[in-house]
Amino acid sequence: MPQAVPTATEHREFLSGLVERVTYHNLENGYCVLRVKVRGHRDLVTVLGHAASVQPGEWVQASGNWEVHREHGQQFRATHLKTAQPTSLEGIEKYLGSGLIKGIGPVYARKLVKAFGEAVFDIIERNPRRLSEVTGIGPKRAAKITSTWADQKAIREIMVFLRSHGVGTSRAVRIFKTYWADAVALVTENPYRLARDIRGIGFKTADMIAEKLGIPKDAMIRARAGISYTLLEAVDDGHCGLPRDELLSMAETLLEIPSVILEDAIRFELTDGVIVADSVGDRECVFLRRLWEAERVIVGRLTVLREGRPPWPDIDADKAILWAEGKLGVSLAASQKDAVRMSLASKLMVITGGPGVGKTTLVNSILKILTAKGVHVLLAAPTGRAAKRMTEATGMEAKTIHRLLEFDPTTGGFRRTEEMPLQCNLLVLDETSMVDVPLMASVLRAVPAKAAVILVGDVDQLPSVGPGQVLADIIESEAVPVVRLTEVFRQAATSQIITNAHRINAGQMPVLTPPKDGETTDFYFVDTADAEDAVRKVVEIVQHRIPRRFGFDPIRDIQILTPMNRGGLGARTLNLALQAALNPAADQPAVERFGWTYRPGDKVMQIENDYEKEVFNGDLGIVTTIDADAQEVTITIDGGEGVYLFGELDEVSLAFATTIHKSQGSEYPAVVIPVTMNHYMMLRRNLIYTGVTRGKKLVVLVGQRRAMGIAIRSAECGRRWSNLRELLRTN
């Protein structure tokens, strides 16, 4: 892809002229390519920039810099672009004839300019009856012209208002498309609604707009919005709610508002039903309503599902187990046989256990027996990578939860609900530890009451990134039959990854003795002196040592997993170091957005669900092309291609390194995990255990043994405020 080469410019330049042609205009983010007639230039000038609305004939004012494109020659890249209605007769005719105004094409544009001259805009707006003076314009056409003109005027006024309050063009377009003609009134009345209604706008942006509108810091409208914001901040930490006293304390710190005002704000929010008060044990808590309701949906659906007989005829379990062993060529352990018997007699059960304990063999045995009896089975997992692994392990199609439930991007909900449930006799849900409260509620809503459900997952891994700890709460409630597999099978026990994972989970240090000369293992520990030494060694190990010794591709096969995002050994620092080593800057296009620079060949991760592209949080991809003219990046993810506008690159981040939390549900051929005292605040047993169990063929820990010891001794991972376990116990 040709690259634009900037010319040497010390100061921003200014340019103005008549828009002759709009070559390209992206309505989603406002990016446009214009051909402009500029005084002093013999040929039309190509101007690149962002404008919410732009039409031929308009007068454009731009500030930016000239650059020379290898294919397209000299062009002007504008950092700021302002358009205005034309004032010349030539511009007015071109503007009216551009197709912007319904009922006016080039022919009528010429007639209108001839009849009214420079007063034509005033005639359309203030005296539309006079339009009938032009031959061919009757009452219907005149009404269409005046109506469209009013709409266009409203768009311009809204854009001017939003930009004057610090809202960029791409966000202004989103706001307009959400509120249309009511945008100015709604935003002025309550700018905090933007955080609730518009993707990409959070409380802080809405707060900035509110400040520009003159809304005081201690205004009740801000206090009320701040309560929800504080709860959302807690949701990011995995909570469904907060104790009331903690909520008040956190909100007071975040918002700098006296607690007396915040108490009133909580009362107003409770009255309006935005939040809900409830008790968790002996603590008075406050929940976001949607999460409070989702927990009750889970409890209600699980209560229904566990009642009654399974939706298949009685099965002689011992004969079925013997038959399944023969078909699969396996010999089930006693604990697995007990689990098969339970599954054949239950409508609802949980299967949990660590790596190498036979969860896959057990599930395959159950599926073999039930499908032979004609049971209609559906398989699902939270992520694309987990669903793919499930498909490979079972030989049956597994879908992501979002595909299974048929997510509808137009409504933001699922098509599969109680009204249109899934068609199955049995749903098997894998990697259940990753499923948060809202998603589990959606899954269970869609399961018919007569069907059976098997939840599979490793409860000792990190809980879900989203709110709640659903699998742990279900198991600890003792309201559902649970099979916990603990026996590591002989073949799996030869893997040091699996052996050490179980040692870590049991609170024991892994075996860190290096192999003898000439021998290899699948688990290594590399000692480091400090964080800087660790970064150097991580880069060296990924770039040279692992590829030389094991033949793994450093970008596609090796994943660096770190306990935290920031800091000297955080994902951000490691990504920059690894990008420089593995995909250095060269004579190739690049784009810098949202704090990252992207180049073809970079490894990236989707960091939020994008249902239109069908890519989800945690999906990995490779940047393949960057088109500076179209302002687009193409990323290959799981064999498919997704096109991202430059303004959408906040949906991805570099992913040579990622956090252990983001790796849940995934497996990689090789993982490298830095563990040092820099990560002190994050060092927990389940964090290291989760990271180690992501490695399929090789795990390399890089760090300090003291830090490993602290992590393994720290079993307490902090309470998540949720009411699910208590509700299940009492139902």
Please give the DSSP secondary-structure letter assigned to residue 542.
I
3-class SS at 230? helix
Burial of 65 (0-12, 13-18, 19+ CB in 10 A): middle
pLDDT means per 10 residues, the chain with 731 residues, are 42 89 79 91 92 85 88 87 85 83 87 94 91 92 88 75 73 77 88 86 89 93 95 92 96 94 97 95 95 98 94 95 95 94 96 93 96 96 88 94 89 92 97 96 97 96 92 96 89 84 94 81 92 92 95 95 88 92 84 85 87 78 85 84 84 93 89 89 90 95 93 81 95 82
Q: What are phi and psi of 76, to 5 degrees?
A: -110, 115
Burial of 184 (0-12, 13-18, 19+ CB in 10 A): middle
Give every CB contact of residue 192 below 8 A, 6+ residues apart in sequence. 203, 206, 207, 210, 221, 222, 224, 225
- Sign, CA dihedral 612-617-620-621, equals positive
Q: How does DSSP assign 657-687, residue by residue?
A: EEETGGGTT--EEEEEEEE-GGGGGG--HHH
Q: Taking a C-beta distance cutoff of 8 angstroms, is the pair 463, 433 a contact?
A: yes
Burial of 695 (0-12, 13-18, 19+ CB in 10 A): buried
Query: Is 360 flagged in the annotation as binding?
Result: yes
pLDDT of residue 717: 62
Q: Taking a C-beta distance cutoff of 8 angstroms, is the pair 610, 668 a contact?
A: no
3-class SS at 38? coil
Give every CB contact of residue 336 below 8 A, 6+ residues apart in sequence. 358, 361, 362, 365, 485
Q: Taking a C-beta distance cutoff of 8 angstroms, is the pair 711, 684 a contact?
A: yes
Element (H, E) at 559: strand 558-562
Query: Is 358 flagged in the annotation as binding?
Result: yes
Amino acid identity of 610?
A: D
Q: Taking a C-beta distance cutoff of 8 angstroms, is the pair 78, 109 a contact?
A: no
- How far apart are alpha carbons 221 and 226 in whole angstroms? 9
Q: Taking a C-beta distance cutoff of 8 angstroms, is the pair 464, 686 a contact?
A: no
Give every CB contact of residue 271 below 8 A, 6+ residues apart in sequence. none
Query: Is 300 flagged in the annotation as binding?
Result: no
- How far apart are alpha carbons 519 and 678 in whole angstroms? 32
Give the helix ranges, DSSP H, for 73-219: 89-96, 106-116, 120-126, 139-164, 169-179, 183-189, 193-197, 203-212
- How far apart are alpha carbons 72 and 731 in whole angstroms? 70
Q: What is the CB neighbour count within 10 angstroms for residue 122? A: 10
- How far apart are alpha carbons 652 and 635 in whole angstroms? 10
Amino acid identity of 368?
A: K
- CA Rg value for the chain: 30
Q: How does DSSP assign 429-491, residue by residue?
A: E--GGG--HHHHHHHHHTS-TTSEEEEEE-TTS---SSS--HHHHHHHHT-S-EEEE-PPPHH
Amino acid identity of 131?
A: L
- How far apart are alpha carbons 84 and 61 in whole angstroms? 8
pLDDT of residue 4: 44
Q: Taking a C-beta distance cutoff of 8 angstroms, is the pair 666, 387 a contact?
A: no
Structure tokens at 498: 């699996």
pLDDT of residue 565: 83
- How far apart are alpha carbons 555 and 572 in whole angstroms? 16
Question: Model-level pTM greater than 0.95?
Answer: no
- How far apart are alpha carbons 631 and 647 in whole angstroms? 8
Q: What is the three-state SS of 105-135?
A: CHHHHHHHHHHHHHHHHHHHHHCHHHHHHCC
Structure tokens at 641: 């291609």
Report CA-CA distances (Å) from 648 to 201, 506, 598, 642.
13, 43, 13, 11
Look up tokens 């506008």; give the residue. 645
Q: How does DSSP assign 418-443, residue by residue?
A: SSS----SEEEE--GGG--HHHHHHH
* Helices 89-96 and 106-116, packing angle to 10 deg: 140
Query: Is 696 flagged in the annotation as binding?
Result: no
Q: What is the CB neighbour count within 10 angstroms for residue 262? A: 23
3-class SS at 199? coil
Q: What are phi and psi of 702, to 5 degrees?
A: -125, 120
Q: What are phi and psi of 84, to 5 degrees?
A: -145, 155
Query: Is 690 flagged in the annotation as binding?
Result: no
